[in-house]
Amino acid sequence: MDPNLELPSSSTAATQSLALLNSEFVLEQSEAFARRVLSETKEADNLESQVQQAWELAFGSLPRPEELAASVDFLKAQQEDFATRNLKEPNVKALAAFCQVLYGSNKFLYVD
């Protein structure tokens, strides 16, 4: 017989990660989060301000300088890609993609 487990161990299955990437709910929430960030950011066109606002809302802290730089680079690349593909609101779509990344991060999913 197996001993009783008072507290089951936590694990993450591949399907959980795929759900964060493909779930319509997560995509909708990411866009809603992006729109909130844009509405609450004092300098709406400033990518650094957007990243800092999103980071603070998601994690309760500001990003380190290297995290900020990488995030801004990601937003710029996404905006260029979405604009090239003639998508509506490329800045919102790019920020929504960034917010989805925040939702899928270990820092957001797990409590230390």
Q: Is residue 41 part of a domain?
A: yes
Alpha carbons 60 and 57: distance in angstroms, whole number: 6
Q: Is residue 62 part of a domain?
A: yes
Q: pLDDT tens, 73-105?
A: 999 999 999 999 999 999 999 999 999 999 888
User: 34: part of which helix (H) or strand (E)?
Assistant: helix 24-40
pTM of the model: 0.82
Indicate the number of domains in the chain. Answer: 1
Q: Is residue 13 part of a domain?
A: no
Alpha carbons 83 and 111: distance in angstroms, whole number: 36
Domain residue limits at 90: 23-109
Q: pLDDT tens, 12-59?
A: 666 666 777 778 999 999 999 999 999 999 887 899 999 999 999 999
User: 43: part of which helix (H) or strand (E)?
Assistant: none
Reading phi first (left if > 0) and then psi (alpha if -120 to 50, else beta), residue 7 is in beta
Q: Is residue 12 part of a domain?
A: no
Give the Cα-Cα-Cα angle 54, 55, 56 (nearest 5 degrees).
95
